[in-house]
């Protein structure tokens, strides 16, 4: 009979493969329309072709090449959860015009329209091609002939998906489950050593025993596969009506096949390992100690390092979830305040210049009319490198920001908006940074207007003090300032920032500066109607692709982070389980191999430490490796910064420091690892002593 842990592994592999396929396909559906053969990205136009001409060319191309071409346009008011497809039908997916897009992710809506409804929309953007693979190249050449700059991309190919997901939670999930499959399969085979010894005594060879196990696994797989398939089909039917079931099935079965082959390879390797013990010793349950222990540590070491990285991610994600929940009241108070999203397909220098001029000019006018809140957020040390400044933040704001968000001076009175003239800049410095006043004042022109710092005379900078311990709302939940340390960190609030406040609509902030802060979500319209009115009045549909209410941004980020936290918590639980299983496995091998010696040493008065010195020494070495791993990584990353210093170049990021979080996570994992081995050793030691005493 197969050991029950082996059956559990293969059942878990099937269930996990379905879950992983669901999460991965849902992520793909949010990022790109499914079912395409390629994407043509138009990034520039010489202005000789109108949007309506491009729509007509799309329709002609679709008919001539028996392909379907679809232009994606994000929804202006709901860019994070809704998009529009303008379809020129002539091949696959033409039925979407009648039936609609079969969304896999029911939380993301895709509306389908005829290509003729594109109207005079700017042609720059994404064009999906459904049909023959060569059609995308032909469409790109057709667009090039119209004066457009176009390139073919395959966003669902391995070469483009690999870099995106190489460090993600889904890949970590696959790795920890693969390690768990290897660990539990190996443990199941080794725990079944006596049964295999009986089969060997009956004259069965390695090949016959392995084939016997595979036949029994095949029977179990057929039953487990049918059960998982039925449950999955029912759940998917309720969730999205079995949309893209073929693609989902291919992903799930591919994942299951990969993990299943890994488990089978571990099964065969461990079975071969049992054959290294002669039949009589195998009948007693003995194992080849050295090879079995080596196999356990080959899994144990990478599992330990993987668990360390996952544990850090779990703690950071948990902290971020709590922080974002605490900032919800501020977003509720912000009401319908909205930031804007800019068209990412404007890639040429000329297009970017037009973007800066037109959007920047509109934002400056809106600022002058009191319609926007500017809340630019920068890292203090990175903005002023090699100055010895402590860690902190800089906010570049307009006077409307100070009217919306109270900032107190050192005596507890509020800094009033419009307290200075239209040609003055206020620099609010926390009391604790008072000794850096001259340096900060000198840097204000370059921070406010890097392209033309001479526009701001230092005499126009009024230095004021702000009280310490203030939490200032930034309207932006995304991690911008300290992204290298924790990319997901919530920066909705910053503590004791340096604030540079300029008059509304002032030329002190350039058009490029307005556009840059808008692209970061740092320019906010309290009234969304001002956005739609401004886009219509100044004809900015080409440049502004969407509106993002700041409260909705925060809610979406919180939902994303909660999902990430749950997935990482699952990864950590599996990784810790692998550590526990391998630790117990090492103790089993050691105890079975040295049972008589352990009993003899015990009755001879040996201490527990001396009796189990080899195992304890290896575990101490492993604990030391784990303890120095984080300091080594920090040293390695900081060493890279020394190269910039040697060349006189400002480093791209501040030095990495070992934090209490790093120490706590590392210490916790060391404690779990050591405790598991010690408890298992104590249990097996007592069992050997008890059985030895009863026999004597």
Domain boundaries, the chain: 33-154, 344-542
What pLDDT, on a 0 to 100 scale, did the predictor assign at position 695?
62
- Tell me what the mean pLDDT of segment 542-551 comes to: 87
Q: Please check the confidence at residue 476 and state whether its pLDDT lies above 50.
A: yes
Helices (H), 192-288: 193-201, 206-240, 245-274, 279-283
pLDDT per residue over 68-78, tens digit each?
999 999 888 88
- Tell me what the mean pLDDT of segment 388-403 comes to: 90
- Tell me what the mean pLDDT of segment 332-336 comes to: 85
Q: Please check the confidence at residue 435 and state whether its pLDDT lies above 50.
A: yes
More confidently predicted of 274 and 231: 231
What pLDDT, on a 0 to 100 scale, did the predictor assign at position 112?
95
Sign of CA dihedral 388, 390, 396, 400: negative
pLDDT per residue over 97-137, tens digit each?
999 999 999 989 999 999 989 888 889 899 999 998 899 99
What pLDDT, on a 0 to 100 scale, did the predictor assign at position 409?
87
Distance CA 214, CA 221 (A): 10
Q: Please check the confidence at residue 256 and state whether its pLDDT lies above 90.
A: yes
Q: Please check the confidence at residue 550 and state whether its pLDDT lies above 60.
A: yes
- Tell me what the mean pLDDT of segment 342-349 comes to: 83
The CATH architecture of the domain made up of 33-154 is: 2-Layer Sandwich (3.30)
What pLDDT band is residue 482 in, cutting at 50, 70 and 90? very low
What pLDDT, on a 0 to 100 scale, did the predictor assign at position 484?
46
Largest Cα–Cα separation, the chain:
99
- Tell me what the mean pLDDT of segment 473-489 comes to: 61
What pLDDT, on a 0 to 100 scale, did the predictor assign at position 584?
80
In angstroms, what CA-CA distances link 676 with 184, 577, 582, 682?
A: 16, 10, 10, 10
Report percent pLDDT > 90 for the chain.
35
What pLDDT, on a 0 to 100 scale, did the predictor assign at position 689?
84
- Tokens found for residue 473: 């709302």
Say how many CA atoms lie within 13 Å of 529 toward its Cβ: 0
First to last CA, the chain: 33
- Tell me what the mean pLDDT of segment 380-404 comes to: 87
Q: Which of 26-40, 161-175, 350-364, 511-525 has the lowest mean pLDDT?
A: 161-175
What pLDDT band is residue 483 in, cutting at 50, 70 and 90? very low
What pLDDT, on a 0 to 100 scale, did the predictor assign at position 516?
92
- Tell me what the mean pLDDT of segment 235-252 comes to: 95
Cβ-proximal residues to 190 (8 Å cutoff; 6+ apart), any chain: 270, 273, 274, 287, 292, 585, 588, 589
Sign of CA dihedral 272, 278, 284, 287: negative
What pLDDT, on a 0 to 100 scale, did the predictor assign at position 243?
94
Distance CA 61, CA 70 (A): 12
Q: Please check the confidence at residue 240 and state whether its pLDDT lies above 90.
A: yes
What pLDDT band is residue 481 in, cutting at 50, 70 and 90? very low
Place of tokens 């487990």: 224
What pLDDT band is residue 208 in, cutting at 50, 70 and 90? very high
- Tokens found for residue 69: 């071409």
What pLDDT, on a 0 to 100 scale, did the predictor assign at position 71?
94
Q: Which residues of 542-558 are buried (b: 16+ CB within 10 A; e: fewer)?
A: bbbbbbbbbbbbbbebb
Winning range, highest mean pLDDT, from 81-95, 304-318, 441-455, 595-609: 81-95
What pLDDT, on a 0 to 100 scale, did the predictor assign at position 691?
78
Distance CA 680, CA 427 (A): 63
Q: Please check the confidence at residue 573 and state whether its pLDDT lies above 90.
A: no
Q: Mean pLDDT in the chain?
A: 85
């Amino acid at each position: 009979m197969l050991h029950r842990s082996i059956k559990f592994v293969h059942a878990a592999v099937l269930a996990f493969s379905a879950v992983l396929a669901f999460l991965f396909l849902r992520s793909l559906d949010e990022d790109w329309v499914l079912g395409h053969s390629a994407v043509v990205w138009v990034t520039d136009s010489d202005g000789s072709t109108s949007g309506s001409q491009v729509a007509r060319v799309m329709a002609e191309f679709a008919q001539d090449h028996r392909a379907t071409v679809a232009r994606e346009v994000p929804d202006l008011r709901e860019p994070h959860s809704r998009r529009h497809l303008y379809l020129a039908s002539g091949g696959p997916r033409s039925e979407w015009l009648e039936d609609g897009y079969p969304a896999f992710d029911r939380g993301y809506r895709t509306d389908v329209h005829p290509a003729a409804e594109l109207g005079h929309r700017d042609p720059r953007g994404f064009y999906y091609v459904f049909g023959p693979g060569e059609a995308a190249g032909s469409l790109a050449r057709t667009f090039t002939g119209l004066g457009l700059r176009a390139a073919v991309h395959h966003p669902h190919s391995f070469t483009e998906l690999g870099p995106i997901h190489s460090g993600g939670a889904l890949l970590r999930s696959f790795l920890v489950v693969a390690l768990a499959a290897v660990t539990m399969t190996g443990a199941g085979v080794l725990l079944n050593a006596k049964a295999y010894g009986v089969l060997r005594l009956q004259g069965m060879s390695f090949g016959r025993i392995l084939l016997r196990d595979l036949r029994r696994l095949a029977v179990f797989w057929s039953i487990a596969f049918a059960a998982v398939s039925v449950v999955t089909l029912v759940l998917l039917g309720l969730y999205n009506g079995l949309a893209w079931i073929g693609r989902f099935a291919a992903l799930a079965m591919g994942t299951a096949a990969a993990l299943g082959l890994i488990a089978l390879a571990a099964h065969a390797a461990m079975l071969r390992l049992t054959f290294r013990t002669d039949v009589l010793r195998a009948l007693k349950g003995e194992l080849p100690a050295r090879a079995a222990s080596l196999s356990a540590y080959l899994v144990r070491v990478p599992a330990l390092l993987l668990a360390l990285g996952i544990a850090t991610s779990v703690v950071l994600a948990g902290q971020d979830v709590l922080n974002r929940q605490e900032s919800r009241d501020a977003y509720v108070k912000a009401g319908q305040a909205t930031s804007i999203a800019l068209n990412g397909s404007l890639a040429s220098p000329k297009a970017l210049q037009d973007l800066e001029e037109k959007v920047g000019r509109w934002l400056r006018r809106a600022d002058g009319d009191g319609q926007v809140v500017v809340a630019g957020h920068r890292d203090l040390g990175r903005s002023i490198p090699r100055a010895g400044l402590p860690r902190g933040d800089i906010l570049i704001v307009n006077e409307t920001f100070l009217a919306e968000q109270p900032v107190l001076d050192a005596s507890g009175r509020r800094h009033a908006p419009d307290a200075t003239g239209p040609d003055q800049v206020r620099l609010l410095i926390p009391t604790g940074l008072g000794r850096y006043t001259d340096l900060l004042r000198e840097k204000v022109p370059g921070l406010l207007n890097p392209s033309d710092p001479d526009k701001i005379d230092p005499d126009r900078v009024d230095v004021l003090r702000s009280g310490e311990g203030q939490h200032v709302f930034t309207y932006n939940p995304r991690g911008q300032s300290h992204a290298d340390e924790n990319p997901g960190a919530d920066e909705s609030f910053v503590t004791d920032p340096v604030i540079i406040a300029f008059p509304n609509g002032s030329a002190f902030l350039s058009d490029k500066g307005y556009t840059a802060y808008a692209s970061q979500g740092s320019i906010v319209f309290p009234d969304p109607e001002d956005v739609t009115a401004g886009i219509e009045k100044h004809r900015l549909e080409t440049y502004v692709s969407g509106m993002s209410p700041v409260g909705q941004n925060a809610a979406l980020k919180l939902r994303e982070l909660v999902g990430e936290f749950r997935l990482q918590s699952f990864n950590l639980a599996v990784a810790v389980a692998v550590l526990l299983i391998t630790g117990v496995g090492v103790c089993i091998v050691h105890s079975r191999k040295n049972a008589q010696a352990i009993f003899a040493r015990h009755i001879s008065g040996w201490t527990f430490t001396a009796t189990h010195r080899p195992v304890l020494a290896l575990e101490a070495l492993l604990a030391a490796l784990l303890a120095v791993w984080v300091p080594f990584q920090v040293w390695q990353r900081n060493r890279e910064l020394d190269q910039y210093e040697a060349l006189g170049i400002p480093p791209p990021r501040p030095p990495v420091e070992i934090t209490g979080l790093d120490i706590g996570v590392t210490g916790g994992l060391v404690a779990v690892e050591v405790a598991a081995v010690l408890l298992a050793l104590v249990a097996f030691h007592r069992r050997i002593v008890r059985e030895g005493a009863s026999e004597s």
